Amino acid sequence: MQYAITVIGTLLVLSACKTGHVREDVPARVINPTTESHAELKRVLSDALNGRDVTIADDALSNDSLLVIEPAHLMGRDLRKPEQFRLVRSGSTCVLVHLGSDERYELGDTDCAPE
């Protein structure tokens, strides 16, 4: 068993060396928000939540890298848990990560900077 772990570890190191770098995600916040970046964020969040309508503040992710989406309470209690997303900078790309599933969504119309 020790041999299998060593081989896997070696393969991971070799693949990182082959690509020249290891992608590192850095928590980020939106800078210079625009109408387009806000619309993109709403669209990506809706896609991530299976088409649910999402309401977010105009300054969402501008002050903090974490965004929590609460379920809408229409009648009585809603047993769904809040959904959490983290904005990260991966290289030069802004990426929204759904913390529940680790799904990643690139944001091409959004400028972000490390938090």
Q: Give the CA dihedral 48, 49, 53, 58, nearest 10 degrees.
A: -50
Structure tokens at 6: 């060593």
Of 97, 114, 115, give the one whose Cα is nearest residue 106.
97
The predicted model scores a pTM of: 0.76
> What integer pLDDT is reported at residue 11 of this predicted model?
39
Q: Where are the domains of the chain?
A: 23-114
> What integer pLDDT is reported at residue 15 of this predicted model?
43
Chunked into runs of 10 residues, the chain (115 residues) has average pLDDT values of: 43 45 86 96 96 93 96 67 96 96 96 96
For residue 16, CA distances in Å to 11, 22, 24, 76 come to 9, 6, 12, 50
